[in-house]
Chains A and B, each alone.
Chain A
Amino acid sequence: MQENSVLIVDDEPIVRESIRDWLKDAGYQVATAESGEEALEMIETQDFSIMVLDIRLPGKTGISVLKEVKAQRPWIKSIIITAYPSAETVDEATKLGAVDYLIKPVAPDDLERLVQETLGLVGREPTVTTKVEVRPKPPAVEVIEVKKSFVIAKESLKSMVESLTKEMEVVGVKSKHGKYVYDRIVSFDGLCLDYDVTVMPPTKYLLPAKETLLKFSVGGESKVEPAIEDRPRAIIGVHPYDIKAIELLDEAFMTTNPDPNYSARRQNTVIIGVDCLNPSPNSFAPSMGTRLTETGFDLLLTDIGGDYMVIVGSEKGADLLAKYPQIREPTGDEIAKQKMVRDEALTRYKLALDVPKERLPKLLEDSYDDPYWESRSKTCLSCGSCVMVCPTCFCFDVQDEVLLNLKQGERFRHWDGCMLVDFARVATGENFRHDKASRFRHRVYRKGKYILERYGRIGCVGCGRCANACLAEIASPLEAFNAIAESARIKEEARRIIREVRAETELYVPRLAELVKVEELTPREKVFEFRFKDGKSLGNRPGQFVEVSVMGIGEAPISISSSPTRDGTFQMAIRNVGNVTNALHSLEKRAIVGIRGPFGNGFPLETLEGKDVLLIAGGIGLFPLRSLVQYILDRRSSFGRVTLLFGARSPAERVFLDELTAWSQSPEIEFHETVDRGDEGWQGNVGVITTLIPKVDIDAWKTMAVVVGPPIMYRFVIGELKKKGIPDENIIMSLERRMKCGVGKCGHCQINGVYVCQEGPVFTLAQLRNLREAV
């Protein structure tokens, strides 16, 4: 008898043929019959292990076919399919030897599982005990403990898996339509351990597509109870990248606010991993650091040709090995073989990140407005396939479902995803991520940045499933990561070209500049004008700074006070406060100093363009801000309303008096100033700078505020600006820190993890809200 031969009896061609095709795909020998009469004829000449029988047939009914089969061929196991199930028919069919029944339309998975289970019955009947012989353990194995490796023979692994199937639900990887899926397994032979990738990840066993959270009743005796499933389950053949994904889910669901449903499932799950030696073409696990894993599993297998290496990952895993199979210590050759197969597998990956994954958060941070998101998402179908198949996606929706009596019901959750149109829609109709580009970007940010920042583990494990599932071929985070890395590289190159007005110099070697003019502003402050000896211009942006050297004394960071729009010299207004500035103050015309830079980001000119600009300078905050004021006045038509507020401690401490007068008379700029304390000669405003803000008419939604002043000033000014309704993104500040090297190396200027000399000194308030050391 052929062990896997199936006869399908159904008069409807579509049912007959689809069942035939499914079972053939699953590797069964299949024959079909259109009627009971034909089936009985076939049974006389051929042998079948299973008959799939429609109960309602023209001519001889299913029940009478069953009767005859029971009499003639009692070993044939019959599965009934019916569109009209009734207790009587099922009862009668069972009495006549039918093993089970399925209701039409039949799902291929259900049928295949039932056939497989039924075949298990066929195979099991003659032998009473299991085939695996139980031998005493070889003495070589003394202690089975976490982190240790052993060798397990395939037969022995089979015995372990099959023993497990008797104790708990065992799921593993099976072949389906030429792809691989996780499904219930009943025997080791159906299990596939050398697959490339499964369509859906094994995380579906921890977070099912739909699960009940609560059961409730309302009305008379209102009651709400949690519904938690905690049936033991083993998942066999989990690849390392999926194990890493499960570790992330553990972090998300079991640390803060532990999720009872997830936790119960997770604690009842045994994970038996297997190294991926045959990677999927879309996988880039090595770039994400998920090709191998040392944690997150109970046992991990490596196919070393015939036998498996098994690594113990937990006490649970150690207990399993101690309980079931024969294992032995690995030989030196076997350890070498494991390394070899793993190394060989590495060479089979075709895709890789162009930058180290550690750089992704920063790259993404800087690419929020990149045109890539818009252009690449044009063909997005918003079908959600990428998030549905993702092992690290875990978002869900919650809904209530009641019975028709409207008294009892369940609250359940089901998978949801940020790529679906309604994900961020609220009851008023507002949709906070209404366009394809913002959804597309959000998903990539989650994978490369947000999840990492929130949970300390990167949100993409490089399995490649989303790339496999995306019909528009746009879903691979790898592609997005590489695209923005490339775009950042091009931008960086462009930036370099802008800076190339200055000669290439060694990093720490200053260029020589001559002091062409010096003028006293107050007894403590002077303005210096320099020109490079080689005649080149500085090429600065307003808001940038340079490192000024007086050789023998030292180097100090100084903001540029002039705009690049003015001719070949550059100015710095400097207060005499330290060694270098003291030395500078004693310099005379034609003295030589060293200059490195310009450094830092400068004010965001592109963002300011077209907007109303509110400039606020406190004291010598005017020194750096003056470069922006000049720039704006030189390109006046590119900006909306321009307002400048200036505050000094006393009339004597006012600086750039000529310019203050010019601004106060200019029609191009609205200028207000105040002093903290007046004197006899002072006739203007008295009061701190914040008192000026309420007096200014501001259109909050198109105003960018730029604030520069002493640290103490910021908090109060921000408070006033917020009262005016200016959003955090539109409040720009320049911060002062100890910028010793200017090139992001020495570390002095860090605010939390940010290097002020590189990412600053100009920040938006929105950026600073995340930097707790900032203001």
Chain B
Amino acid sequence: MKPKVAFFDFTSCEGCQLDALNLTGEELIDLLNAVDIVNFREAKTEREDDYDIAFIEGSITRESEIPRLQKIREQAKVLVALGACACIGGINCLKNHLPMEEALRIVYGKDAKYYDTFPARPVDAVVPVDYHVRGCPPVTAELLKVVKALLLGKKPDIPNYPVCVECKMAGNVCVFERGMTCLGPVARAGCSAICVTGGRYCWGCRGLVEDPNIDSEKDILKKYGLTVEQVVEKFKIYNTYAEVTK
């Protein structure tokens, strides 16, 4: 019996689902040989409520999303948070810096009264999450890695070290040496340092490493010319929900 896989979207741009589709033809065929995809709004219209593995995309930003998520949790044997919004709250949490009424007003204007909202949060702030496929967007290869690990019944080898490691492996000149600043030293790797390799810097979209040395990173950012506000901004983009910027 092939395991049944379902994708669910909560508050998000649905780019993670789109990215999950970004497989080569061969990979897609192999994937479909290995699992049955029963729910996938971006890719198919039929749906069913019997599934083993649930991928959750998006963060939780409304009261009404909680029972829906809980129901999925009850059904799924394995629940995987997919992408930055689901794993760490992501950019949706930027609104948490505003009063909720103001956030509603900015988004919906005079129709604000028809909507409700609450501070955005990652999936594991609501229900237990078995695995995280991190990133904005997630790395397709890592999604496949998690699927394969689940099929093999092993824990996927997901890096728990900072982006610096992969950045060095990629042979990059350090962002700080190129006159910019970067969250790489405290941000989780797994992305092969794609942003730095592409000439940019790390935003920390995969969240922070376990027990990050935030104080030291902040001192370094200041040493490289950032003001306190700029340092906070830097962390806010993806990591508002993390303890460090609360």
User: What is the CA–CA distance of A183 and B220 in the complex, to the nearest angstrom?
Assistant: 30
Contacts A200-B171, A406-B152, A415-B169; A381 near B216 (Cβ below 8 A): yes
Contacts A388-B169, A406-B148; A399 near B157 (Cβ below 8 A): yes
B185 within 8 A of A: yes
Interface-forming stretch among A92-100, A173-181, A522-530?
A: A173-181
User: What is the CA–CA distance of A107 and B213 in the complex, to the nearest angstrom?
Assistant: 30
Q: Binary interface profile of A, 514-539, with partner B (CB < 8 Å = 1, else 0)?
A: 00000000000000000000000000
User: What is the CA–CA distance of A456 and B116 in the complex, to the nearest angstrom?
Assistant: 69
Instruction: Give the number of chain B interface residues (Cβ < 8 Å).
Output: 45
User: What is the CA–CA distance of A501 and B233 in the complex, to the nearest angstrom?
Assistant: 62
Select the residue from A383, A384, A421 with max chain B CB neighbours within 10 A. A383
Please give the distance in Å from B77's CB to the nearest CB on chain A: 18
Contact present for A405 and B177 (CB under 8 Å) = no
B165 within 8 A of A: yes
B211 within 8 A of A: yes
User: What is the CA–CA distance of A472 and B199 in the complex, to the nearest angstrom?
Assistant: 23
A21 within 8 A of B: yes
User: What is the CA–CA distance of A662 and B209 in the complex, to the nearest angstrom?
Assistant: 62
A700 within 8 A of B: no
Contacts A414-B169, A471-B176, A471-B220; A404 near B33 (Cβ below 8 A): yes
User: What is the CA–CA distance of A108 and B168 in the complex, to the nearest angstrom?
Assistant: 15
Contacts A177-B178, A422-B160; A18 near B198 (Cβ below 8 A): yes
User: What is the CA–CA distance of A210 and B174 in the complex, to the nearest angstrom?
Assistant: 20
Contacts A108-B198, A406-B148; A179 near B186 (Cβ below 8 A): no
Contact present for A109 and B34 (CB under 8 Å) = no
Contacts A415-B169, A421-B161; A21 near B199 (Cβ below 8 A): yes
B197 within 8 A of A: yes
B27 within 8 A of A: yes
CB-defined contacts of A583 to chain B, threshold 8 Å = none
Contact present for A383 and B144 (CB under 8 Å) = no
Contact present for A105 and B194 (CB under 8 Å) = yes
Please give the distance in Å from A184's CB to the nearest CB on chain B: 11
Contacts A210-B169, A404-B27, A404-B34; A384 near B161 (Cβ below 8 A): yes
CB-defined contacts of A18 to chain B, threshold 8 Å = 198-200
CB-defined contacts of A382 to chain B, threshold 8 Å = 161-162, 209, 213
Contact present for A469 and B168 (CB under 8 Å) = yes
Nearest residue (CB) in B for A21 is B199
Contact present for A384 and B164 (CB under 8 Å) = yes
Contacts A406-B152, A420-B161, A421-B160; A384 near B176 (Cβ below 8 A): no
A340 within 8 A of B: no
Nearest residue (CB) in B for A380 is B213
User: What is the CA–CA distance of A209 and B151 in the complex, to the nearest angstrom?
Assistant: 28
Q: Which of B30, B185, B194 interacts with A404 by CB under 8 Å?
A: B30
Please give the distance in Å from B163's CB to the nearest CB on chain A: 8
CB-defined contacts of B144 to chain A, threshold 8 Å = 404
Q: Which of B161, B164, B171 interacts with A422 by CB under 8 Å?
A: B161
User: What is the CA–CA distance of A399 and B157 in the complex, to the nearest angstrom?
Assistant: 8
Nearest residue (CB) in A for B152 is A406
CB-defined contacts of B185 to chain A, threshold 8 Å = 381, 383, 385, 471
User: What is the CA–CA distance of A107 and B178 in the complex, to the nearest angstrom?
Assistant: 17
8 A Cβ contacts from B30-59 to A: 30-31, 33-34
CB-defined contacts of B211 to chain A, threshold 8 Å = 421
8 A Cβ contacts from A342-380 to B: 378-380
User: What is the CA–CA distance of A673 and B17 in the complex, to the nearest angstrom?
Assistant: 79
User: What is the CA–CA distance of A733 and B216 in the complex, to the nearest angstrom?
Assistant: 44
Contact present for B165 and A384 (CB under 8 Å) = yes
Please give the distance in Å from B74's CB to the nearest CB on chain A: 28
Please give the distance in Å from A430's CB to the nearest CB on chain B: 15
Contacts A107-B198, A381-B186, A404-B30; A204 near B171 (Cβ below 8 A): yes
Contact present for B197 and A108 (CB under 8 Å) = yes
Q: Which of B33, B198, B220 interacts with A472 by CB under 8 Å?
A: B220
Contact present for B33 and A389 (CB under 8 Å) = no
Contacts A384-B164, A421-B209, A471-B176; A209 near B169 (Cβ below 8 A): yes
B63 within 8 A of A: no
B130 within 8 A of A: no
Contact present for A177 and B164 (CB under 8 Å) = no
8 A Cβ contacts from A465-513 to B: 469, 471-472
A71 within 8 A of B: no
B122 within 8 A of A: no
Select the residue from B168, B170, B212 with max chain A CB neighbours within 10 A. B168
Contacts A181-B173, A382-B209; A405 near B34 (Cβ below 8 A): yes
Q: Binary interface profile of A, 403-435, with partner B (CB < 8 Å = 1, else 0)?
A: 111100000001101001110000000000000
Contacts A381-B216, A384-B168; A178 near B177 (Cβ below 8 A): yes
User: What is the CA–CA distance of A21 and B178 in the complex, to the nearest angstrom?
Assistant: 12
CB-defined contacts of A168 to chain B, threshold 8 Å = none
B83 within 8 A of A: no
Contact present for B165 and A404 (CB under 8 Å) = no
Contact present for B173 and A177 (CB under 8 Å) = yes
A402 within 8 A of B: yes
User: What is the CA–CA distance of A199 and B177 in the complex, to the nearest angstrom?
Assistant: 11
Please give the distance in Å from B176's CB to the nearest CB on chain A: 6
User: What is the CA–CA distance of A380 and B180 in the complex, to the nearest angstrom?
Assistant: 20
Please give the distance in Å from B172's CB to the nearest CB on chain A: 8
Please give the distance in Å from A136's CB to the nearest CB on chain B: 42
Please give the distance in Å from B71's CB to the nearest CB on chain A: 29
CB-defined contacts of A183 to chain B, threshold 8 Å = 171
CB-defined contacts of A253 to chain B, threshold 8 Å = none
B90 within 8 A of A: no
Please give the distance in Å from B103's CB to the nearest CB on chain A: 29
Contact present for A383 and B152 (CB under 8 Å) = no
Contacts A21-B199, A404-B144, A422-B161; A176 near B151 (Cβ below 8 A): no
Nearest residue (CB) in B for A422 is B160
User: What is the CA–CA distance of A472 and B177 in the complex, to the nearest angstrom?
Assistant: 13
User: What is the CA–CA distance of A749 and B215 in the complex, to the nearest angstrom?
Assistant: 51
Nearest residue (CB) in A for B178 is A177
Contact present for B168 and A379 (CB under 8 Å) = no
Contact present for A383 and B220 (CB under 8 Å) = no
CB-defined contacts of B220 to chain A, threshold 8 Å = 381, 471-472
A394 within 8 A of B: no
CB-defined contacts of A209 to chain B, threshold 8 Å = 169-170
User: What is the CA–CA distance of A22 and B168 in the complex, to the nearest angstrom?
Assistant: 19
Contact present for A402 and B178 (CB under 8 Å) = no
Please give the distance in Å from A582's CB to the nearest CB on chain B: 67
B14 within 8 A of A: no
B184 within 8 A of A: yes
User: What is the CA–CA distance of A383 and B166 in the complex, to the nearest angstrom?
Assistant: 10
Contact present for B199 and A388 (CB under 8 Å) = no
Please give the distance in Å from A573's CB to the nearest CB on chain B: 56
User: What is the CA–CA distance of A466 and B168 in the complex, to the nearest angstrom?
Assistant: 11
User: What is the CA–CA distance of A383 and B215 in the complex, to the nearest angstrom?
Assistant: 14
Sample of 17 A–B contacts (CB below 8 Å):
A22-B199, A105-B194, A108-B197, A176-B173, A177-B178, A181-B171, A200-B168, A381-B212, A381-B217, A382-B161, A383-B165, A384-B161, A388-B169, A402-B152, A404-B27, A404-B34, A420-B165
Known A-B contacts: A199-B174, A415-B165, A472-B216. Give 12 more (CB < 8 A).
A106-B198, A210-B169, A380-B213, A381-B162, A382-B213, A384-B161, A404-B27, A404-B30, A404-B31, A404-B144, A406-B151, A471-B220
Top 7 nearest A-B pairs (CB, nearest first) are A388-B168, A404-B30, A209-B169, A383-B164, A379-B216, A383-B185, A177-B173
